[in-house]
Copies of this chain bind each other. A is one copy, B any other.
Amino acid sequence: MSGRIDQIFAALADPTRRAILAMLLEDDMAVTDVAEPLPISLAGVSKHLGVLAAAGLISRERRGRVIWCKLEPDALREVSVWLQAFGQVEPVELDAFERFLAAELEAAREALAEAEAEVQAGDATDAPP
């Protein structure tokens, strides 16, 4: 076992999962609400949440019928520690914060929507703008 860092990096390697983390950064969410903007099935989202939870990146708590997902930032600190071992991780200007956040979410949505369209495309115009 190489510890949990394996699972953490593997979890972060998927754009859908990173998009989920970005959503949870804004606020805690129910599973259904997490799944709503994503172009995959609810069960698929549930699997992603399982991966994220196994990596310690989120936690899930049942309240009534609804399961609330919460970002668990401590796991990300492990990545931070790992990064530090490789030297220059000087903080970037905080402007990057919002820019990145929006970009990440929108990119994920666009990419997945594209993939979705591609499947249904058949012979549609192969040249997107």
Q: From known contacts A1-B111, A80-B89, A83-B83, infer whether A13 and B15 are also in contact, taking CB-CB under 8 Å.
A: no
Q: Is the interface of A mostly helix, strand, loop or mixed?
A: helix
Tell me whether A35 is interfacial, beta carbon within 8 Å. Answer: no
- A1-36 vs B: 1/0 string, CB under 8 Å? 111011001101111001001100100000000000
Q: Which residue of B6, B73, B107 contacts A86 across the interface (Cβ within 8 Å)? A: B73
For window 80-101 of A, CB contacts with B under 8 Å fall at 80-89, 91-92, 94, 96-97, 100-101
Residues of A that sit less than 8 Å from B by CB: 1-3, 5-6, 9-10, 12-15, 18, 21-22, 25, 71, 73, 76-77, 79-89, 91-92, 94, 96-97, 100-101, 104, 107-108, 111
